[in-house]
Structure 1
Amino acid sequence: MIVTTVNTENAPAAIGPYSQATIYNGQAFVSGQLGLSPATGEFIADDVEAQTRQALENLKAILTACGSCLNKVISVDVFLTNMDDFAKVNAIYAEFFSKHKPARAAIEVSALPKGGLVEIKCIAAIS
């Protein structure tokens, strides 16, 4: 079994003992992404829309580093600290997944790392 780890400077560094993504058997497993700026490692803003947009940009950058893209995403998990933000997150999410609609789960959690409002992870096929 060969597992390849992927890290790119175009997304925030992992904030723990894990990789931004791993590749195995033609699939990229992208770790949960918060709305952190790749340059500073801090939240882009304090609102869920901006954090969602940045989390998806981070996801996109990691997918590119893996040799994949948003159109090859198979499954997405979205973690929210407040399910009342579901519609706001969906509106931003739809900008990134307009035609291609992968399987998805949305889960409310009590807290996220660094006090984030949303975290998004995915599995994607590799070209």
Structure 2
Amino acid sequence: MTFIETPNAPKPGGHYSQAVVHGDLVFISGILPITPSGEKLTEATVLEQMQQVLKNLDAILEAAGSTREKVLKVTVFIADMEAWGLVNQLYTHFFGDHRPARSIVPVLPLHYGFGIELEAVAIV
């Protein structure tokens, strides 16, 4: 088991790793819209928040020896389902022809009032 921590994504805010690699799988913890330097994008639009989350996802995947094309499953937590259409467009552009399994979970506002959180499982 390998615990992943890259400076190219925000440091964990609690007792967890950015990701854990076990065998051929990488399990990526919930990713919030926080820059690698620690800036919380609470005032950003949900699209800007999603862009940062996806940048963080790419950085963590790279640190784990994986890529977005190897993502198997994504769970997106969203505070405002009204924004889902726009978020889905950005998600579709990010993954292109790759179509991982996905769940969308509507939630009350997330930590710090964020609108988006994403977790994923990928192969290495």
For Structure 1 versus Structure 2, the TM-score category normalised by the shorter chain is over 0.9
Aligned residues: 124
- Mapping of residues 59-98 of structure 1, within 5 Å: 59-98=57-96
Distance (whole Å) between structure 2 residues aligned to residue 31 and residue 45 of structure 1: 23
Distance (whole Å) between structure 2 residues aligned to residue 125 and residue 40 of structure 1: 27
* Corresponding position of 2:3: 5
How many Å apart are 1:45 and its aligned residue? 4.8
TM-score w.r.t. the length of structure 2 is: 0.95
Distance (whole Å) between structure 1 residues aligned to residue 32 and residue 98 of structure 2: 22
Root-mean-square deviation (CA), in Å? 1.2
* Corresponding position of 1:20: 18
Identity rate of aligned residues, in percent?
38
- Is 1:113 matched up with 2:111? yes
- Which runs of 5 or more residues in structure 1 are unaligned? none
How many Å apart are 1:35 and its aligned residue? 1.3
Distance (whole Å) between structure 1 residues aligned to residue 112 and residue 21 of structure 2: 26
Distance (whole Å) between structure 2 residues aligned to residue 44 and residue 54 of structure 1: 11
Moved over 2 A (4+): none
- Which runs of 5 or more residues in structure 2 are unaligned? none
